[in-house]
């Protein structure tokens, strides 16, 4: 039987430190290939050198389309491309962003799951929100192993905590000890292969850039009264998804917490636009009131003055809402 020879690692904020610890502890004879997705800007630079300087004896390369997969090597996602795996090669996808990012952790994890099943070890490190949780769930559904950084050890604990809530986690390990754990897991025999859920395969095709269309989307999601923040299209809620996720007909994908974060920004922007329009309206009728007084029309001036005061009250109310949204009350932790 084959060993667990595919290690996929994802992280965002605060993930660089534990990633350095992991790569520094992996041995030169590691019988597995390592694939890494960090959330980086489309024009990000310096990540490759940062990872390579920490990889110890393992060679690190930025993934290129068609690159052959070999054990004992580290492959880093390229900016603005989904890192996807086939049976023996890497390929880069330009499909829609997931959780507003490309490369997305979920895309890598799903492609590993459908092609390597029980041979996959999925690892989530420090990060914000929940990108990667759905992908780790896909790895588990296809027979792989799931590992997360101990949230108490993470700089940003949202990502590992989301994974713990979304799926069964096999190991929860501090960053300092994860390299040794992965080295041991890679030498173990893989389990039995499991059937590949068709919706996971479809989502990998979307990440690769294939057209989704409403006819294919309806097979794995139900339309809801929500709008895609990326393109303005109708969103559909993925069926039986953990965590809760949404996709639009174009293919943009969002975990519920990421969608809520994007909506929060849109609400804030809408309030600021409304505030500007009302303040401009107040300024206009104030000038109209002054013009009425200058021209000996006191009744008209009084009417416009009252409207100006009313608009100022509306503006003050919106301003208070905007300020409150920037400084939400701190919730008390449950005992």
Spatial distance between the Cα atoms of 335 and 332, rounded to a whole number of angstroms: 9
Per the CB < 8 A criterion, the answer to whether 230 and 249 are in contact is: no
Give pLDDT, residue 41. 56
Output the pLDDT for position 45.
52
Q: How many CB atoms lie within 10 A of CB 55?
A: 21
Taking the CA of residue 247 as centre, how many other CA atoms within 13 Å lie in the half-sphere pointing to its CB? 26
52 cis-preceded (ω within 30 degrees of 0): no
Catalytic annotation present for 162 = no
User: What does the angle CA 278 – CA 281 – CA 286 come to, to the nearest 5 degrees?
Assistant: 130
List 39, 81, 82, 252, catalytic entry? 39
Annotation says 39 is catalytic: yes
- pLDDT more than 90, % of the chain: 70
Q: Which entry of 5, 12, 106, 146 is annotated as an active-site residue? A: 12
> Picking from 23-32, 190-199, 297-306, 323-332, which range would have the lowest pLDDT averaged per residue?
323-332
| 146: β partners | 122
Single pTM value for the model: 0.82
Token duo for residue 54: 């920490």
Rounded to 5 degrees, φ, ψ at 218 are -65, -20
The residue from 5, 106, 131, 157 that is catalytic is 131
Interatomic CA distance for residues 251 and 212, integer angstroms: 6
**What is the token pair recorded at 323?**
């300020």
Q: pLDDT value at position 326?
A: 57
DSSP state of 103: S
81 is catalytic: no
In the predicted model, what is the mean pLDDT of the chain? 89
CB atoms within 10 A of CB 229: 18
């Amino acid at each position: 039987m084959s060993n667990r020879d595919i290690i996929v690692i994802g992280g965002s904020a605060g993930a660089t430190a534990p990633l350095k610890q992991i790569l520094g502890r992996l041995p030169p004879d590691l019988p597995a290939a390592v694939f890494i997705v960090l959330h980086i800007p489309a024009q990000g630079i310096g990540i490759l050198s940062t990872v390579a300087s920490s990889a110890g004896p393992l060679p690190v390369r930025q993934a290129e389309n068609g690159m052959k997969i070999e054990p004992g090597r580290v492959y880093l996602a390229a900016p603005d491309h989904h890192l996807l795996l086939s049976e023996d090669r890497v390929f880069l996808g330009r499909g829609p962003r997931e959780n507003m990012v490309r490369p997305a952790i979920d895309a890598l994890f799903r492609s590993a799951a459908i092609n390597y099943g029980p041979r996959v070890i999925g690892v989530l490190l420090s990060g914000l929100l929940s990108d990667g949780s759905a992908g780790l769930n896909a790895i588990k559904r296809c027979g792989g192993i799931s590992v997360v950084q101990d949230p108490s050890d993470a700089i940003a604990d949202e990502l590992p905590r989301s994974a713990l809530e979304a799926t069964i986690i096999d190991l929860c390990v501090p960053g300092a000890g994860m390299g040794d754990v992965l080295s041991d897991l890679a030498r173990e025999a893989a389990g039995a292969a499991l059937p590949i859920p068709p919706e996971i395969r479809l989502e990998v095709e979307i990440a690769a850039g294939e057209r989704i269309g409403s006819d294919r989307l309806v097979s794995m999601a139900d339309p809801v009264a929500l709008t895609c923040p990326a393109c303005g299209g109708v969103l559909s809620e993925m069926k039986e998804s953990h965590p809760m996720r949404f996709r639009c007909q174009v293919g943009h994908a969002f975990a519920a917490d990421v969608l809520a974060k994007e909506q929060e920004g849109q609400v804030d922007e809408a309030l600021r636009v409304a505030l500007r329009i009302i303040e401009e309206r107040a300024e206009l009728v104030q000038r109209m009131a002054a013009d009425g007084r200058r021209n000996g029309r006191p009744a008209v001036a009084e009417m416009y003055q009252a409207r100006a005061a009313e608009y100022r009250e509306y503006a003050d109310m919106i301003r208070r809402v905007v300020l409150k949204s920037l400084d939400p009350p701190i919730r008390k932790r449950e005992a």
